[in-house]
Amino acid sequence: MTTAVPILRVTDVERALGWWGRLGFAEEFRHQFEADLPRFVGIRRDDCMIYLSEHQGDASAPGLIYLWVDDVDAVAAEFGAKIDDMPWARDCEIADPDGNRVRAATRTQP
């Protein structure tokens, strides 16, 4: 099995955790070398894992993730986003506090 885990640059892990929690993600682990150094946190929802890093060298912001969800209408309602109908899915785009973009989508075709 092969799994890819995106790493998103964030400036404040706690603020990011609150935002991602609205999408149903929860903290799975946290790493910090020293109390005054940047934090690195893994979040998960079901089989989807994302890493959030305050380390400047890990990733450039803003990033973009395409996230498949069961109910894009619920996501759009939670964030006040407009839904677009595409040939492959209904999707909407939202952004976390650091400008990382998330396109949440529900398939319209098998």
The per-residue pLDDT for range 70-90, each reduced to its tens digit, is 999 999 999 999 999 999 999
Q: What is the pTM of this model?
A: 0.90
Number of C-beta neighbours around residue 102 at 10 A? 25
Tens digit of each residue's pLDDT (9 = 90 or more) over 46-57 = 999 999 999 998
Eight-class DSSP state of 11: S
In which residue ranges of the chain is pLDDT below 50?
none
Using CB atoms within 10 Å of the CB of residue 92, give its burial: 0 to 12 exposed, 13 to 18 middle, 19+ buried.
Answer: buried
Number of DSSP helices (H) and strands (E) in the chain, helices first = 2, 8
Contact 88, 108 (CB under 8 A): yes
pLDDT for the residue 88? 93
pLDDT for the residue 46? 93
Ordered by where they begin, the domains of the chain are: 7-107 (3.10.180.10)
pLDDT for the residue 53? 97
What ranges in 6-50 are assigned the alpha helix state H?
13-21
pLDDT for the residue 3? 85
